[in-house]
Amino acid sequence: MKHHYDTFSTPAGSFSAAINDDGAVVATAFGGLAALRRRFNAGEISRSPARLARVRREVRQFFTGRRRSFDLPLAPDGTTFQRRVWTALQRIPYGATRSYGELAAKLGHPRAARAVGRANATNPICLLIPCHRVIGRDGSLTGFAFGEKIKALLLAREGVPAGKPQRAKGNAATKARRRA
């Protein structure tokens, strides 16, 4: 299948996105074409700013505060479990965070925090599928494929101060019980 891509500037640096012939987003990356190619099996890919105009517009609207969610068709390639995790990520509200454990419990696998973390790390469509909203159970930013600096910037854009992410419901109570 042929893919189309574009790279454009954002406050977090260069951002690249690829779509398939149907216009669905298959991958995104902070960086240029090389970073994008690492996110999916590109095969044949050609630069097409016109085809990616809607993606570029929605991403820029996010960075200017005029957009809190994306209305783009998405087509991430992954296992059934990965796709379930990625769907759960899309349900995390703008300006909120969740821990890996909370996502695992939500998916009915409370002991699968590491598997959820791995699925989160392999999300091919960063930002649009908001893997940056997942934090450690202690509130730490933890890893992000494009660095914790970009993760902190994205969360700050959503009103979550850097270094002080909003813990998902129950997280503070769990921490307090552990101290008691």
Residue type, 11: P
Residue spans of beta strands (DSSP E) within the chain: 3-10, 13-20, 25-30, 45-47, 98-99, 134-135
Do 5 and 33 contact (CB within 8 A), yes or no? yes
Catalytic amino acids?
131
Q: How far is it, in rounded angstroms, from Cα 19 to Cα 42?
A: 10
